[in-house]
Structure 1
């Protein structure tokens, strides 16, 4: 995440800030320009303040009243919810104060996801716009039936219990996972949706199958085999996680999630001007300067992974110094880097149709020439790797 500043007084501001600590102006995030705005109240709406202020008028997203969103919508428009919140289909019961706290953590992770998607200029369509549009359900176990985090034709369900740090850590340890976070869940599950959008409907099936394997393999049987037999032998040679070896869809979604992990962490490092230059002999492999924009389509996957190795090692060392688990407890072998390169080319429109064409296929409800029929699937995330 990049660093922002208050347009009125230049005080450093962070992504979730709603007030400038120096000048006291209200702050809001404007998703179209990906900008933090300083705001003055004017009769129930807000006007821009500070250098470069336009005459545009704004309202906060309706979820601002619950303390879970600081994004803005145009005052003249009809949308009550912002670009990120309008994808919500089910939110927790807000009469329970603890649910509000857990939902706030959900939204913090989801809004970070949306920031990255917007930086990558990826298509976003709601379920009001298309039956397979993107929608979120945040569900609790109140009915006695355990909620399964997963994806089903654009509907992403996240178990509310995953926002409870202790419960999530309990599940992570029980599953033997090296990493499990809310943001990881969001990044993985939306990878399934973008497989539909950019691969299935985007004319990239042949290239994707050559990279990730046969997605027409029975999904349920593949998962049962994975759970019964455990990870594939020597999975580290081909997959970013053991779960990625369960099925081609999971391999794609895991690799997609890791691509987002990497580019957003590097974006943060770029914003902070991070340089890694260890004070040890012969340290060229561990030296990097994050002096390039990782979202620039001209940046290659080699540039990204060459910079990621020293950055990840440095971040892991900081975590160990604080007695924490490694920030990025994964190894990127040559085959995994090749798969990350496929994702990199896919999001920048170098595989399959251009992104605009993929989005158009979704909006019109038409299938691309290489589209396939498949049974509805659900990714059983209690057993996942993120």
Structure 2
């Protein structure tokens, strides 16, 4: 994620900010150039805005701004569109008249927009349901289980381009209970969105294309029964012995689809966090060598070995910072060579937009060597 500042007064701003805390100006995010702009009302055109101190056409805020649930702008060239490039993928939202729903949905919106900022930065294909029957859509649903323990439950998941998100996942205590119940070291809203988007992009970039063969060589045959794999995972009370050597997480060991989705999510974790470290000038020195994320074009030309060489020391540093505050590790994972090889597949898949006809041996080898050279303490070792 980039760093932002108010163009009118210089106040540092978060990605989600809707008003500048210093000068009070309205803010709007331009997803087409990843800029958070200070806005001024367009005289004589109610509902339209101009970017402060910058020439350009009048712009509209996404219609969900009226719920304080979005700060993105709609490009003037997008005709009669009223929703931004993230919100137009929403198919169902919760009943906002129910007390508490609006706040929970706003948290979900923030995570969704952070996901879309990454997907747009990677220039991945994003079709809506009206434009494509297989397009990406979101249903954010209230979970009846939150009201009656014996009632049905809404599960977060993906099916044929439709991502369902349980509103309960935005409730921090409820999500933490689920994390504990499933013995997960990490469970966040943004993590859910990144994981489920991995299922969607598997169907768009891997399924039925040249990347399917290389996928099966690395992740396994997805044609094995998914339901049986789930039942085996939960019946056996967890992943197989030695899973850490082959998978980024215990859940990744369930099935090749979940392995890919978890690997995809961790690739996005890595890229977005490295960009944040870069814009804040974070640097590392080890054995006389300096690692500088600011030199990396995270979303473009950076090679995976460069990303891995910066990522491993960064995770050690942020985990150490968290421990200094008595907090759990921010990133409680350490990718082994087999996992780095899978990350290489995702890296090349994203760069080729699915035109990947072979296992990326050279990319993987360089990244594995970089990972071994930059290897740091395993957070699971305590």
Give the TM-score of the pair, scaled to structure 2: 0.87
The structure 2 residue matched to 1:261, chosen from 244, 256, 269, is 269
CA distance in 1: counterparts of 2:133 and 2:288, whole angstroms: 48
- State whether structure 2 residue 81 is matched by structure 1 residue 71: no
Change (3 A) 1:129 1:319: same
Q: For residues 168-183 of structure 1, what are the structure 2 equivalents within 5 Å?
A: 168-183=175-190
SS at 2:271 equivalent? helix
CA distance in 2: counterparts of 1:87 and 1:75, whole angstroms: 19
CA distance in 1: counterparts of 2:104 and 2:50, whole angstroms: 31
Runs of 5+ consecutive residues of structure 1 not aligned to the other structure: 278-282, 355-386
Asked if the contact 1:147/1:159 (under 8 Å) is kept, the reply is yes
Deviation at 1:308, TM superposition (A): 0.8
Identify the residue that residue 337 of structure 1 maps to in structure 2. Answer: 340
The structure 2 residue matched to 1:84, chosen from 63, 83, 86, is 86
Q: 1:136-161 deviations in whole A, cap 9, x for unaligned?
A: 11111238311111000000011111
Using CA pairs under 8 Å that are at least 6 residues apart, name the structure with larger relative contact order, 1 or 2: 1
Deviation at 1:302, TM superposition (A): 0.9
Q: For residues 189-204 of structure 1, what are the structure 2 equivalents within 5 Å?
A: 189-204=196-211
| Corresponding residue pairs, total | 348
Change (3 A) 1:116 1:154: same
Identify the residue that residue 363 of structure 2 maps to in structure 1. Answer: none
Deviation at 1:296, TM superposition (A): 4.5
- State whether structure 2 residue 139 is matched by structure 1 residue 142: no
Change (3 A) 1:231 1:287: farther
Q: After superposing the two structures, state which structure 1 stretch, 174-183 or 14-23, moved more.
A: 14-23
Give the TM-score of the pair, scaled to structure 1: 0.86
Runs of 4+ in 1 over 3 A off after TM superposition: 8-11, 21-24
Deviation at 1:179, TM superposition (A): 0.4
Q: 1:97-130 deviations in whole A, cap 9, x for unaligned?
A: 3000100110010100000101111110111111
Q: After superposing the two structures, state which structure 1 stretch, 218-227 or 294-303, moved more.
A: 294-303
Q: For residues 219-368 of structure 1, what are the structure 2 equivalents within 5 Å?
A: 219-229=226-236, 230-277=238-285, 283-284=286-287, 288-349=291-352, 352=355
Runs of 5+ consecutive residues of structure 2 not aligned to the other structure: 146-150, 358-382
Deviation at 1:46, TM superposition (A): 3.0
Q: After superposing the two structures, state which structure 1 stretch, 121-130 or 39-48, moved more.
A: 39-48
The structure 1 residue matched to 2:195, chosen from 178, 188, 191, is 188
